[in-house]
């Protein structure tokens, strides 16, 4: 049986109702992170997650659900991850401290033996051959023991250092996940806010950077007609197109539901040319379901550009790029507009602009 686009929307609504009812019956708090777990489990998207959720019983505790969330959706539980890594680092540092203290104890003991030996050797009148042999024996044993203990300490410290390096690597990976949009796997709004702020760190950066905002046209109608799963798939496809068209030195992020941003270096003409290429690439793409044969129709994007030199800071740059995007929307959509400083009072009512 082929699933038509209208069926997808009905099924999405059914799943949402089932999730809400199931969570209420199980006494689960209506938190976004809990909804994410139940959506993945009840929609059949993750069989192992469904089994793990069933194993928690009819009344799962919040900490048990959080552990599931950390296991399957690490990017949405970065605080828990950071806390876990912090505990691991604390344990490793405590172990290293114990090793160093133990090593200091051995060295202090060895130092006392050396002092006693030196004192005995300085009293030459009391030295006999037997006493000298005893001193040599004690020194040899103490020296060998200290050397062996030192080797063991170095080896153990090496192991701890390797473990800490592994923890550091994991923490870096989790930090990247925290800055990554889970749906599209490109940068998220959090990473974008940091990156756009960096533009205004230097005059050179301001001179050569620009912001492009892109918004999917009539996206609300797409969701209403085909359902949110189809809408999510379209967002993923467009994110892939933007990423594939961008150079390595460009920054591509998903900044909202159906909105994307590109931070790019270049002249106004070259930035506009690149934006036009993106718009055309999206317009030429095919959006449908190869399994069912469903065709979702033509999908287009509207875009707005603002050069960094036209704005006083990151917030102003975003606002002016958004105004340029507004011009593209009210001008008929599926086009690129560039912000230009207004000459005199403007009569535009930006409240009329809806990103749909």
DSSP string, 140-197: HHHHHHHHHHHHHHHHHHHHHHHHHHHHHHHHHHHHHHHTB-TTT-SB-HHHHHHHHH
Task: Report how far Cα 79 is from the mean position of its chain's Cα atoms.
Answer: 12
What pLDDT does 260 receive? 97
DSSP state of 1: -
Distance CA 31, CA 212 (A): 34
Neighbours of 27 (CB within 10 A): 10
Tokens, residue 196: 């756009």
The CA distance from 286 to 231, in Å, is: 14
Cα 289 to the center of its chain, rounded Å: 29
For the residues 338-353, what does the mean pLDDT come to?
52
Confidence category of residue 143, pLDDT binned at 50, 70, 90: confident
What is the reported pLDDT for 171?
Answer: 59
Pairwise CA distance, residues 114 & 129, whole Å? 19
Token output for 85: 């890594």
Cα(96)–Cα(108) distance, rounded to whole angstroms? 18
Return the DSSP state at 45. S
Rounded distance, CA 239 to CA 263, Å? 14
Is the pLDDT confidence value at 225 over 60? yes
Residue 261 has phi, psi (to 5 degrees) of -135, 145
Q: What are the residue boundaries of the structural domains of the chain, listed by start?
A: 5-73, 106-178, 189-352
- pLDDT at residue 163, as a whole number: 65
Q: What is the mean pLDDT of residues 123-151?
A: 65
Closest by CA position to 336, among listed 211, 173, 161, 177: 211
Question: What's the length of the chain?
Answer: 356
Question: Is 222 exposed, middle or buried, given 0-12, 13-18 or 19+ CB atoms closer than 10 A?
Answer: buried
SS3 assignment, position 263: strand
The β-bridge partners of 260 are 214, 254
CA distance 35 to 314: 34
Mean pLDDT in residue range 48-61? 89
Q: Are 265 and 208 in contact (CB under 8 A)?
A: yes
Extract the runs of DSSP E, i.e. beta strands, from the chain.
Answer: 209-216, 251-254, 259-265, 288-289, 294-295, 301-307, 336-338
> What is the per-residue pLDDT for 45?
65
At 165-214, the pLDDT tens digits run 666 665 566 566 678 888 898 999 989 999 999 999 999 999 999 999 99
Q: Average per-residue pLDDT in the chain?
A: 78
pLDDT reported for residue 72: 78
DSSP, res 298: -
Specify the pLDDT at position 170: 59
Is the Cα dihedral 272, 273, 274, 275 positive or negative?
A: positive
Instruction: End-to-end CA distance of the chain: give it in Å, rounded.
Output: 32
> What is the torsional sign of CA 68, 74, 80, 81?
positive
Which CATH topology does 189-352 take? Alpha-Beta Plaits (3.30.70)
Per-residue pLDDT tens over the stretch 299-326: 999 999 999 999 999 999 999 999 999 9
The token pair that represents 143 in the structure block: 């020296």
- Averaged pLDDT for residues 239-257: 94
Comparing 26-35, 161-170, 175-184, 258-267, the range with the smallest average pLDDT is: 161-170
Contact (Cβ atoms closer than 8 angstroms) between residue 191 and residue 178: no
Q: How far apart are CA 227 and CA 234, in angstroms?
A: 11
Residues 208 and 140: their CA atoms lie apart, in Å, by: 70
pLDDT confidence of 347, banded at 50, 70, 90?
Answer: very low
């Amino acid at each position: 049986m082929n699933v038509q686009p209208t069926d997808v929307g009905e099924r999405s609504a059914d799943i949402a109702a089932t999730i809400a009812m199931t969570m209420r019956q199980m006494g689960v708090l209506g938190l976004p992170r809990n909804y994410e777990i139940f959506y993945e489990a009840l929609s059949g998207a993750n069989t192992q997650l469904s089994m793990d959720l069933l194993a928690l019983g009819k009344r799962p505790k919040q900490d048990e659900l959080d552990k599931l969330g950390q296991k399957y959706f690490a990017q949405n539980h970065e605080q828990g991850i950071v806390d876990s890594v912090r505990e691991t680092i604390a344990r490793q540092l405590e172990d290293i401290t114990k090793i160093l203290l133990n090593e200091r104890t051995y060295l202090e003991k060895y130092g006392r033996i050396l002092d006693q030996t030196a004192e005995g050797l300085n009293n030459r009148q009391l030295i006999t051959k037997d006493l000298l042999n005893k001193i040599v024996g004690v020194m040899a044993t103490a020296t060998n023991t200290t050397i062996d203990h030192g080797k063991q300490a170095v080896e153990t410290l090496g192991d701890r250092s390797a473990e800490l390096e592994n923890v550091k690597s994991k923490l870096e990976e989790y930090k990247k996940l925290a800055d990554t949009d889970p749906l599209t796997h490109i940068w998220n709004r959090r990473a974008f806010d940091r990156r756009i702020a960096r533009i205004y760190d230097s005059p050179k950066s301001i001179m050569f950077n620009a912001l492009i905002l892109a918004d999917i046209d009539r996206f609300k109608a797409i969701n209403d007609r085909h359902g949110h799963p189809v809408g999510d798939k379209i967002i993923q496809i467009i994110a892939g197109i933007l990423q594939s068209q961008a150079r390595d030195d460009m920054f591509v992020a998903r900044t909202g539901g159906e909105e994307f941003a590109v931070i790019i270096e270049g002249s106004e003409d070259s930035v506009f040319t690149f934006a036009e290429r993106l718009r055309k690439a999206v317009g030429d793409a095919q959006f449908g379901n190869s399994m069912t044969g469903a065709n979702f129709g033509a999908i287009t994007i509207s875009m707005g550009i603002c050069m960094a030199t036209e704005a006083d800071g990151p917030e102003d740059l975003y606002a002016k790029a958004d105004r340029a995007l507004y011009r593209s929307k009210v001008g008929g959509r599926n086009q690129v507009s560039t912000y230009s400083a207004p000459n005199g009072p403007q009569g535009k009512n930006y409240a009329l602009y809806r990103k749909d």
